[in-house]
Amino acid sequence: MKHTKPAGSTETAHLLERRKRLLGKAYRLFYDHPVHIVRGEGVWLYDADGKRYLDVYNNVPHVGHCHPHVVEAVCKQAKVLNTHTRYLHENVLDYADKLTAKFPGGLDIAMFACTGTEANELALRLARAKTGANGMIVTDHAYHGTSWAISQITTCYGSSDRRGDNIVTVPAPDSFRGLYAGDDEAADKYAGHLHDAIDKLAQNGHRPAAFIVDTIFSNEGLPTVPPGYLAKAVEIVRAAGGLFVADEVQPGFGRLGRHFWGFESHAVVPDIATMGKPMGNGYPVSAVVTSAEIIEAYQKDSHYFNTFGGTPVACAAALAVLEVVEQQGLQANALETGDYLLDKLKKLKANKFIIGDVRGSGLFIGIDLVGGPDSREPATSETSRAVNLLKERGVLIGSTGRYDNVLKIRPPLVFTRQNADLLLEKLEGVLSEISGTL
Amino acid sequence: MKHTKPAGSTETAHLLERRKRLLGKAYRLFYDHPVHIVRGEGVWLYDADGKRYLDVYNNVPHVGHCHPHVVEAVCKQAKVLNTHTRYLHENVLDYADKLTAKFPGGLDIAMFACTGTEANELALRLARAKTGANGMIVTDHAYHGTSWAISQITTCYGSSDRRGDNIVTVPAPDSFRGLYAGDDEAADKYAGHLHDAIDKLAQNGHRPAAFIVDTIFSNEGLPTVPPGYLAKAVEIVRAAGGLFVADEVQPGFGRLGRHFWGFESHAVVPDIATMGKPMGNGYPVSAVVTSAEIIEAYQKDSHYFNTFGGTPVACAAALAVLEVVEQQGLQANALETGDYLLDKLKKLKANKFIIGDVRGSGLFIGIDLVGGPDSREPATSETSRAVNLLKERGVLIGSTGRYDNVLKIRPPLVFTRQNADLLLEKLEGVLSEISGTL
């Protein structure tokens, strides 16, 4: 989704020129013709020309762009106090209380940072402190963040030779495409790779500290996971002394509809859970939830402090998000609207051979585009075309997956059935146009 | 500054109990009897009992606690839009423009993250990409952040055996206490250690990627640096192919009075500068400023994106901070008030043998407490006592340095001469009380 030429308006061209000059060449924009967004409200984004876009992409504005309850909570607290966790303050405790109440017993402690990367950094340090081991097991097309250590376990970018020999990968489970698609024993077979990973670590002189997965496998293309896989995999890791870290940065906070956290959909309880993006509806806040036992091991050698983590304003934002999720019934809405959309998409699939698979949970849905009827060949360039065409037609959507051929539906949770109908209408039109070219 | 027993009030005891239960044992509080701060305004913080404290500690609220211009900027933007840098938006460009204008020519590019740790993470990756080398040289009691990679170059915590052999230390320069105190050739001699560091890296099979310093050496105790040291040190590193990273997280944004950035006070231009804490007056925002040439090397293999970095709200906060610094003349105030305070403290030193040295620049001043007249023995426990007594008397201050014996004066930049007088009055009383016990 790189941009190849500036969009029409002089203003956009000017912004593109300034951006290249001031931010440099390492930044990327979405879309062949990038959008200049100036306003957001609920599920809607508006560009500088007043054009309205249905936002099917952004999960950070979890309860909707500029939700007044969250904005008010941030402003109210920002006017009064915003210090740090080395003074006593109620907000961080009130939020930790509400957050840990969302977890099974034993996961009682919350620690705060600013980004998902920082939360995963802390999880990694906790796991290493608890186990005394250094090995990390991660799926083979995962995204967990951008720091030096976390980019080593972000296996979707770059080559494996950048990684230390303490990091080993296992194939991400996938019931549609992959090693054991259609195999009745896929769960056992995928889980069996954890044995291989532990053996490989041992050959390199390491023991496993942790197995970490994004529990919706978003970057892997939101695959349907063979039932029982994750519980089996975690059992193998624990038997070898390792912990299980559930990266809930993307699936968490009710998006999946049936469950508040992704790990619940796999019937497995993590030792450490990390969360971020949607947590403050855009205010930078992230967290780790874990057990007193793990903290006990960590604090023998280390303290923890993060300047902007757990501040009164950050926690006011996060508290307001939880309140809106509860008061507006957004987890239930994710389930109902998600099921409605999934059902309609499955019907659309019957008429559109470019749709190879439709899958997901709640308001986190993937549409796997393929090269032809009954094909599983990834339609990567068509996916990029669909993303750009949908943008032209007023729908902001992204793509994901190993082959970047999965349209990713991940809107703010205030997404309605009417929004779903609009998406379906636009999607049908665009896929018809693209299918004609296949 | 750990707490040993709960403060008197039931409410504080209750907060302490909740904190232990919900945040765990890895978090630390300031002061023997922690404070429960509920409100902030300018240089003042207020506890739950309405007691007012002069804030001489907090540098994050750079332009004063809850500065209305910054709060308004955040609220105004939060109501309209808060997305990310993959859409076009003016704020990130307007801020990058203003920020890079504060740097010498060639340092034209700004990249955004959320915390100082993340900025240093990016600097490290840029330096490694540019040099193709992996070695890091860092002073021996430095703080640069909390992630796995950055904690390796945070040499003030833990032992060196946790560090990779690609990280080597040099003694932090110090004109009062240390290897070459009082030596006319201290600058050359301290700089000479860079040769040793480069040799040691070579023995370990590494070349230097970067030499990184906090340009005010805050964690080292704000030492007076022998003039010319840093320029000489950087010259040696550059001759060996390494870059110089100026960590401006603490000294930056005008605090030092004479200069906007710490590196300017050493008459040396960095290849990469990092900044954070004061940048958004408490809103989590950080940045890296560097050259197009370094970005050119980095972007061959890597893109850059940080979900919450450079958002419209983050940049609105940071823009507002720059505006206040300029409109209220806060750099000039840091110089004038800082010089006034420094002068008074030097006079106080003449009458208080517990004060071994007074040093610093602008509103970043260290008072080095010692064991007796003409002694350089660090008065560590007396420093902790002073910090706690000052808190009881309504002044929030911290300590720093290798021996934790340096009172650190680092208030919001709206600190006035009247505030300085109040600090001096309380400080004199407390030091008299403590001196009596020496």
Q: Which of B26, B86, B116 has the CB atom closest to A295's CB atom?
A: B26
Q: Which of B30, B148, B157 has the CB atom closest to A149's CB atom?
A: B148
User: Chains A, B: CB contacts under 8 A, how many?
Assistant: 291
Q: How far apart are CA B340 and CA B421, in angstroms?
A: 9
pLDDT at A6 over 50: no
Q: Which amino acid is at A400?
A: T
Q: How far apart are CA A273 and CA A124, in angstroms?
A: 11
Strands (E) located in B171-252: 208-214, 243-247
Question: What's the pLDDT at A18?
Answer: 97
Contact B257, B335 (CB under 8 A): yes
End-to-end, the C-alpha distance of chain A in Å comes to: 20
Contact state of B147 with A146 under an 8 Å Cβ cutoff:
no
Contact state of A282 with B311 under an 8 Å Cβ cutoff:
yes
In sequence order, which ranges of B153-228 are alpha helices (DSSP H)? 186-203
Q: B113 phi and psi, to 5 degrees? A: -140, -165
Average pLDDT (A346-352) is 95
Residues in B closer than 8 angstroms to A96, CB to CB, are: 22-23
Contact A361, A338 (CB under 8 A): yes
**A86, A111, A274: best to mutate for the B interface, most B CBs within 10 A:** A86
Contact state of A37 with B88 under an 8 Å Cβ cutoff:
yes
Q: Which of B60, B66, B305 has the CB atom closest to A79's CB atom?
A: B66
Beta bridge partners of A395: A54
Q: Which of A65, A81, A96 has the CB atom closest to B37's CB atom?
A: A81
Q: How far apart are CA A116 and CA A277, in angstroms?
A: 7
Contact state of A148 with B158 under an 8 Å Cβ cutoff:
no
Output the six-digit token pair for B329.
Answer: 């003349």
* Element spanning B361, H or E: strand B355-361
Determine contact: B418 vs chain A, CB below 8 A.
no
Q: Which of B23, B116, B118 has the CB atom closest to A110's CB atom?
A: B23
Residues 94-133 of B with CB under 8 A from A: 96-97, 100, 108-111, 113-118, 121, 124-125
In sequence order, which ranges of B262-379 are alpha helices (DSSP H)? 292-298, 312-327, 330-351
Residues in B closer than 8 angstroms to A311, CB to CB, are: 282
Q: How far apart are CA B408 and CA B399, in angstroms?
A: 5
**What are the structural domain ranges in chain A?**
35-63+329-435, 68-327
DSSP, collapsed to helix, strand or coil, labels residue A83 as coil
Q: What is the pLDDT of residues B395-405, one digit of tens each?
A: 999 999 999 99
Give the CA count within 13 Å in the CB-facing half-sphere of B356.
22
User: Strand B406-409's sheet: what is its strand order?
Assistant: B355-361, B364-369, B406-409, B398-400
Contact state of A66 with B81 under an 8 Å Cβ cutoff:
yes
Contact A311, A83 (CB under 8 A): yes
DSSP, collapsed to helix, strand or coil, labels residue A390 as helix
Beta bridge partners of A41: A44
Segments of chain B with pLDDT less than 70: 1-8, 158-161, 437-438
Q: Which of A22, A82, A87 has the CB atom closest to B35's CB atom?
A: A87
Question: What's the pLDDT at B7?
Answer: 46
Provide the pairing of β-strand B286-290 with B109-113. antiparallel
Determine the residue of chain B that is closest to A20 in CA distance: B109
Give the domain A68-327 fold.
Aspartate Aminotransferase; domain 2 (3.40.640)
Contact state of B39 with A111 under an 8 Å Cβ cutoff:
no
Residues 296-315 of A with CB under 8 A from B: 296, 298-299, 301-308, 310-311, 313-314
What is residue B215's DSSP assignment?
Answer: T
Q: How far A293 CA sits from the closest chain B CA (Å)?
A: 10
Contact state of B92 with A125 under an 8 Å Cβ cutoff:
no
Q: Which residue has the higher pLDDT, B289 or A6?
A: B289
CA angle B268, B272, B273 (to 5 degrees): 80
May I ask the CATH class of domain B35-63+329-435?
Answer: alpha beta
Q: Which of A26, A88, A295 has the CB atom closest to B295's CB atom?
A: A26
Instruction: Write b or e for each residue in A294-304: b if 16 or more Cβ atoms lie within 10 A of its Cβ, otherwise e.
Output: bbebbbeeeeb
Q: How far A309 CA sits from the closest chain B CA (Å)?
A: 9
Residues near B411 by beta carbon (within 8 Å), at least 6 away in sequence? B43, B54, B55, B56, B57, B58, B59, B363, B419
Residues near A128 by beta carbon (within 8 Å), at least 6 away in sequence? A134, A209
Is the CA virtual torsion B217, B218, B224, B227 positive or negative? positive
pLDDT at A161 over 90: no
Q: How far apart are CA A388 and CA A111, in angstroms?
A: 39
Output the six-digit token pair for B29.
Answer: 């509080």
Instruction: Write b or e for each residue in B192-229: b if 16 or more Cβ atoms lie within 10 A of its Cβ, otherwise e.
Output: bbbeebbebbeeeebbbbbbbbbbbbbbbbbbbbbebb
Contact B126, B295 (CB under 8 A): yes
Question: What's the pLDDT at A1?
Answer: 42
Give the CA count within 13 Å in the CB-facing half-sphere of A71.
21
Q: How far B122 CA sits from the closest chain A CA (Å)?
A: 7
Q: Which amino acid is at A377?
A: E
Q: How far apart are CA B271 and CA B123, in angstroms?
A: 10
Q: What is the pLDDT of residues A271-326, one digit of tens each?
A: 999 999 999 999 999 999 999 999 999 999 889 999 999 999 999 999 999 999 99
For tokens 């769960």, what's the residue? A187
Question: What's the pLDDT at B10?
Answer: 83
Q: A372 phi and psi, to 5 degrees? A: 175, 180
Contact state of A60 with B307 under an 8 Å Cβ cutoff:
yes
Question: What's the pLDDT at A171?
Answer: 97
Average pLDDT (A48-68) is 98
Separation in Å, CA A422 to CA A51, A66, B71: 15, 22, 37
Angular region, B321: left φ>0, alpha ψ -120 to 50, beta rest? alpha
Question: What's the pLDDT at B277?
Answer: 94
Q: Considering only CA atoms, which of A127, A110, A85 is closest in space to residue A306? A: A85
Residues in B closer than 8 angstroms to A149, CB to CB, are: 147-149
Q: Which of B111, B117, B148 has the CB atom closest to A23's CB atom?
A: B111
Q: How far apart are CA A23 and CA A11, in angstroms?
A: 17
* Element spanning B366, H or E: strand B364-369
Determine the residue of chain A that is closest to B121 in CA distance: A147
Q: How far B414 CA sits from the closest chain A CA (Å)?
A: 16
* Element spanning A229, H or E: helix A229-239
Residues of chain A above pLDDT 70, percent: 97
**B93, B308, B388: best to mutate for the A interface, most A CBs within 10 A:** B308
What is the Rg, in whole angstroms, of the alpha carbon atoms belonging to chain B?
22
Q: Which of B87, B301, B305 has the CB atom closest to A37's CB atom?
A: B87
**B44, B47, B148: best to mutate for the A interface, most A CBs within 10 A:** B148
User: What size, in residues, is chain B?
Assistant: 438
Residues in B closer than 8 angstroms to A314, CB to CB, are: 284
CB atoms within 10 A of CB B416: 15
